[in-house]
Structure 1
Amino acid sequence: MKKIVALLIAAGVSMTAFAAPDTFTSDDNHTFSSFSYSHFGYSTQQSRFNSTKAKITLDRAAKTGSVEATIDAKSVDTGSKLFDQHIQGENFLDTAKFPTISYKSTKVNFNGDVPASVEGNLTVKGVTKPVTLTITNFHCADHPMAKKLACGANATAKIKRTEFNAGAYAPNVGDEVTLSFAIESLKD
Structure 2
Amino acid sequence: MRTSLIAAALALSAFAGAASAQSATYAIDSSHTFSSFSYNHFGLSNQQSRFNTTTGTVTYDKAGKTGAVDVVIDMKTVETGSSAFNGHIQGEDFLDTTKFPTATFKSTKVVFEGDKPAAVEGNLTIKGITKPVTLKLTNFVSTSHPMNKKDVIGANATTTVKRSEFGAGKFAPAVGDDVTITIAIEAIKQ
TM-score normalized by the length of structure 2: 0.90
Question: Are 1:65 and 2:67 matched, yes or no?
Answer: yes
**Amino acid in the other structure paired with 1:97:** K
Q: Does 1:163 align with 2:165?
A: yes
Indicate the SS of the match to 2:122: strand
Aligned match of 1:40: 42
SS of residue paired to 2:89: helix
Find the partner of 1:21 among 1, 12, 23. 23
Counterpart Cα distance in 1 of 2:168 and 2:19: 46
Deviations 1:119-140 (A, max 9, x none): 0000000000001000000011
Letter in 2 for 1:40: F
CA RMSD of aligned residues (A): 1.5
Counterpart of 1:127 (choices 126, 129, 143) is 129
Percent identity of equivalent pairs: 60
Q: Counterpart in 2 of 1:140?
A: 142
Question: What is the CA–CA distance in structure 2 between the aligned matches of 1:53 and 1:18, rounded to whole Å?
Answer: 24
Unaligned 5+ runs, structure 1 = 1-12
Displacement after TM superposition at 1:101 (Å): 0.3
TM-superposed deviation, 1:178: 0.2
Q: Give the Cα separation in 2 of the matches to 1:39 and 1:140.
A: 37
Distance 2:103 2:150 in 1: 29
Amino acid at match of 1:46: Q
Shift, 1:147, TM fit: 1.6
- Paired residue for 1:149? 151
Partner of 1:104: 106
